[in-house]
Amino acid sequence: MSKPLTIAMPKGRIYEEAAELMKRAGYYLAADAEESRKLILEFPEQNIQIMMAKPMDVVTYVEYGAADIGIAGKDVLLEQDRDVYEVLDLQISPCYVAVAGLPDKPLGRIAPKIATKYPKIASDYFREQGEQIEIIPLNGSIELAPLIGLADRIVDIVSSGRTLRENGLMEYQKIADITSRLIVNPVSYRLKSNDIDEMVRKLSGVVEVESS
Ligand SMILES: Nc1ncnc2c1ncn2[C@@H]1O[C@H](COP(=O)(O)OP(=O)(O)OP(=O)(O)O)[C@@H](O)[C@H]1O
Ligand SMILES: O=P(O)(O)OC[C@H]1O[C@H](OP(=O)(O)OP(=O)(O)O)[C@H](O)[C@@H]1O
């Protein structure tokens, strides 16, 4: 038998949807894997091994070839700009990245402060707008920053809009629509092309049906 396909799966909010999509494509990868503390799960009957990774780290596992394939949000791919192939838009976990802040507050000062866990996306966006900014790097609860005067704007994920609403913030600009993507290590794509092509074909079929 050929070597197993290794898949870096994102723990957290994407996992269930990703596992469900895989299941519909014919790959049964334990929808309840998150309940266990095991980080590597083997599915020998399908010749697949999955590793449970932090969503932001999936690209690293795939770039270094520790995993052949991974599932990552487009936000992570835009932020990290790594050497992996993005082969399929899985159209799951939709959300978008936006600029937000306190209502009706123009960006007056020179180099306004932008709080974010996406420094590259934020810098690229404001550079394109011709605005010089200062990045305030944060890891979570980004919406706190404008409320307490730490930042003039945030660049963060919006999904339902509830977090902005409940904190009295408004959206100023949408930067990019986000869904999760299937990514592949370039060397794996050559060495395991049959297995990978088959998975991409099956997943594409499911995605097409879902979106029609
Ligand atoms: N409302 C949302 N907030 C954040 N990410 C979302 C949202 N909806 C979909 N996503 C997708 O989920 C991914 C993040 O998943 P998750 O929140 O589980 O990871 P995380 O940010 O590492 O979690 P943690 O809050 O534990 O640090 C993002 O990369 C994005 O593509
Ligand atoms: O538009 P909504 O549906 O409210 O979702 C958006 C919120 O969800 C995410 O935060 P998360 O729950 O990951 O917590 P965090 O602030 O600790 O990152 C994101 O950073 C926003 O704060």
Pairing of the two strands 5-10 and 69-73 = parallel
Enumerate residues lining ligand 2, CB below 6 A: 140-143, 156-163
Q: Pick out the chain residues at pLDDT < 70.
A: 1, 30-33
CB burial string 95-120: b at 16+ within 10 A, e below: bbbbbbbeeeeebeeeebbbbbbbee
Q: Which ligand lies nearest the alpha carbon of 178? A: 1
Q: What is the pLDDT of residue 31?
A: 60
Q: What is the pLDDT of residue 14?
A: 95
Angle at 173 between CA 171 and CA 178, to 5 degrees: 95
Q: What is the pLDDT of residue 64?
A: 98
Q: What distance in angstroms lies between residue 2's CA and the mean position of ligand 1's atoms?
A: 34
Looking at domain 5-93+179-211, its CATH class is alpha beta
Q: What is the pLDDT of residue 8?
A: 97
Do 95-176 and 5-93+179-211 fall under one CATH topology? yes
Q: What's the CATH number for 95-176?
A: 3.40.190.10
Q: Ligand 2, closest atom to CA 142? A: 16
Ligand 1 contacts CB of residue 75 (under 6 A): yes
Q: What is the pLDDT of residue 103?
A: 97
* pLDDT tens, position by position, 23-49: 999 998 866 667 788 999 999 989 999
Write the DSSP assignment of 155-175 as a string of letters. Answer: EEEESSSHHHHHTT-EEEEEE
By most ligand atoms within 8 Å of CB, the mutation choice from 9, 11, 14 for ligand 1 is 14
Q: What distance in angstroms lies between residue 107's CA and the mean position of ligand 1's atoms?
A: 28
Ligand 1 contacts CB of residue 196 (under 6 A): no
For the chain, the structural domain boundaries read: 5-93+179-211, 95-176
